């Protein structure tokens, strides 16, 4: 086991070194305004971290992402469960889901700004919009795929419709729910950038947009790398939270 982790550390160290060498080579063959070298990006990262602006941007983006994602999943999961087990609910919801899920959230930015203003509400609702469809569709697929034999077995043992739903359908759908909320989290990160590019005074998306206006490419790289690290950290935390559920229901994480 120790050798396995040691080998992984060596592998990732070599991977990081290779990435740094390739980055330096591309930067040397280009101009800093097009592709800044890693030392310029590191200085920009440290300066924005030292003066507190990067921390503020990260905090605001995380707030918008997590609130919008949580609301979207909280709406999508019960709706997906109901639609998966009720043909009437599915017939009502499916046309709207199939229509709106193909419209990217960036198409609604102008309308959301008009309807909900320049504050946090418009940005959070955009993330709710993009998170809802992914979580809903995965939950719906899981609820519709529940083994009929399990349902019949529960009914034969005297379970009511409510008990069958709570103790058979919901547990059987959990793997799909976990997959849906993880995919929705990725969509939330993509949407927050679009929202902050247009209508924000803070956030990592705003950092990228503002740096572009002043031709500070190194800060654009800082924003992009920060988003990747934020996503990595959020996904890692979510995997820890769902680890027990994943183990119980045999979900591959």
* Model pLDDT for residues 174-200, shown as the tens digit of each residue: 888 988 999 999 999 988 888 887 767
Same domain, 117 and 12: no
Q: How many domains does the chain have?
A: 2
Whole-model pTM: value is 0.83
User: Does residue 253 fall inside a structural domain?
Assistant: no
Neighbours of 24 (CB within 10 A): 13
Phi then psi for residue 239, to 5 deg, are -65, -40
CATH number at residue 173: 1.10.3720.10
* Model pLDDT for residues 190-249, shown as the tens digit of each residue: 888 888 877 677 888 888 888 877 778 888 999 999 999 999 999 888 888 877 665 665
Residue 8, domain extent: 1-30
pLDDT at 49 over 70: yes
Distance CA 41, CA 130 (A): 31
Neighbours of 15 (CB within 10 A): 10
Same domain, 115 and 197: yes
User: Does residue 107 fall inside a structural domain?
Assistant: yes
Q: What mean pLDDT do residues 47-63 have? A: 90
Same domain, 23 and 138: no
Same domain, 138 and 23: no
Phi then psi for residue 29, to 5 deg, are -85, 0
Same domain, 10 and 116: no
Same domain, 67 and 44: yes
Same domain, 198 and 222: yes
* Model pLDDT for residues 4-37, shown as the tens digit of each residue: 555 777 887 888 888 888 888 888 888 878 888 8
Average pLDDT score over the chain: 84
User: Does residue 59 fall inside a structural domain?
Assistant: yes
User: Does residue 98 fall inside a structural domain?
Assistant: yes
């Amino acid at each position: 086991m120790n050798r396995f982790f040691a080998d992984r550390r060596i592998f990732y160290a070599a991977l990081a070194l290779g990435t740094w060498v390739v980055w330096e080579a591309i930067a040397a063959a280009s101009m800093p305004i097009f592709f800044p070298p890693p030392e310029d990006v590191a200085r920009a990262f440290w300066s924005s971290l030292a003066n507190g602006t990067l921390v503020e941007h990260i905090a605001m983006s995380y707030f918008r992402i997590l609130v919008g994602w949580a609301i979207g999943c909280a709406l999508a999961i019960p709706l997906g469960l109901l639609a998966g087990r009720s043909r009437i609910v599915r017939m009502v919801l499916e046309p709207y889901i199939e229509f709106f899920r193909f419209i990217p959230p960036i198409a609604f930015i102008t309308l959301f700004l008009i309807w909900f203003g320049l504050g946090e509400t418009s940005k959070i609702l955009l993330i709710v919009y993009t998170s809802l469809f992914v979580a809903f569709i995965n939950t719906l697929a899981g609820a519709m795929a529940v083994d009929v034999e399990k349902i019949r077995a529960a009914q034969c043992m005297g379970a009511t419709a409510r008990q069958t739903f709570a103790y058979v359908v919901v547990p059987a759908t959990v793997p799909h729910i976990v997959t849906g909320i993880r995919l929705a989290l990725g969509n939330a990160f993509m949407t927050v950038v679009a929202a902050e590019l247009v209508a924000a005074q803070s956030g990592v998306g705003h950092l990228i947009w503002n740096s572009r206006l002043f031709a500070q490419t190194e800060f654009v790289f800082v924003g992009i790398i920060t988003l990747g690290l934020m996503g990595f950290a959020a996904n890692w935390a979510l995997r820890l939270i769902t680890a027990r559920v994943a183990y119980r229901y045999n979900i591959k994480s």
